[in-house]
Amino acid sequence: MNKAKLTPASSVILAGGVIMLIGSFLPFYEFSILGVSRSWNAWSSFTNLFLFPLTTLIVVFGVVMAVQVALATFAPGTSLPDRPLGFTWDQVHLVLAFQVAIMMLAYLIRDKGRLDWGAGFWLMLLAAIALLAGAILRTRDTAGAPPLS
């Protein structure tokens, strides 16, 4: 019987992906004035907020990373390409995690005017850091592993 073994890197990526998905449904930006409040999440569309589909892209990347890790760990029989577009899976994770991190950093730096960040933004930022850490850890895990036959 195959026992699923979740490495620390995979755990971090899996957790990051789940947190990213949950955070995407919570408020990314909030606005409150004189008792009137409004919020938008990563799937919302509103003029000049740069949310859907830009923030959704971040979520999709995080979810793709988590799903790949979950499939490789818990459903090893699943047929995934060895090298999608010539990249190893470690490289795919690095590319996606880097893009997620750089985009969340961009939103962190961006002047948001009178808007406030919501819980969703902070969760997505936390998830981005976790995904990047997981992707880097993953390359270290496999650095000493024998090459794929």
Residue 25 · residue 120 · CB < 8 Å: yes
Closest CA to 51 of 40, 62, 61: 40
User: What are the residue ranges of helices labelled H in 25-109?
Assistant: 54-74, 89-109
Residue closer to another protein by CB (options 73, 99) is 99
Contact flag: residue 11 with another protein (CB under 8 A): no
Stretch that binds another protein, among 13-21, 31-39, 69-77, 96-104 (CB under 8 A): 96-104
What does each C-alpha distance from 122 to 24, 53, 72 come to in angstroms? 10, 19, 29
Residue closer to another protein by CB (options 15, 99) is 99
63-92 footprint of another protein as x/- string (CB under 8 A): ----------------------xxx--xx-
Closest CA to 57 of 114, 124, 147: 124
Sheet containing strand 29-33, edge to edge, reads: 36-40, 29-33, 116-117
Count the site residues for another protein by CB under 8 A.
Answer: 29
Residue closer to another protein by CB (options 90, 141) is 90
Residues of this chain, 13-52, that bind another protein according to CB under 8 A: 45-52
Which residues here bind another protein, judged by CB under 8 A? 45-54, 57, 85-87, 90-91, 94-95, 99, 102-103, 106-107, 109-113, 139
